[in-house]
Amino acid sequence: MASMTLAQRQQFAEVANRADERRKIREDRLKGQSNNKSVVKASNSTGNQNMPLMKKLFQFCKQHIVI
């Protein structure tokens, strides 16, 4: 770094800053995907509570009764 000119140091800093921005965007995107997965799991677990009684009974029979 000490042997670099001012212009070279500025260019180096710009490239490093762009790389850091891309890294942050990628991390935010990955966090968003993990949050979406937890939302889907939560909606699936609450879906059973809103299910009509007959549908619950039908699913129970399909799982536990061998015809």
User: Taking Cα atoms as reference points, which of 51, 53, 33 lies closest to residue 43?
Assistant: 51
Q: How confident is the model at residue 13 (pLDDT cuts 50, 70, 90)?
A: very high
Q: Residue 30 in contact with residue 38, Cβ under 8 Å?
A: no
Instruction: Tell me the HSE value of 13 on the side-chain side, using a 13 A CA sphere.
Output: 8
| Each residue's pLDDT tens digit, 22-64 | 999 999 988 887 766 655 555 555 555 677 888 888 788 778 7
Distance CA 38, CA 12 (A): 40
Q: Residue 46 in contact with residue 38, Cβ under 8 Å?
A: no
pLDDT surpassing 90 at residue 11: yes
Distance CA 17, CA 50 (A): 49
**pTM attached to this predicted model:** 0.46
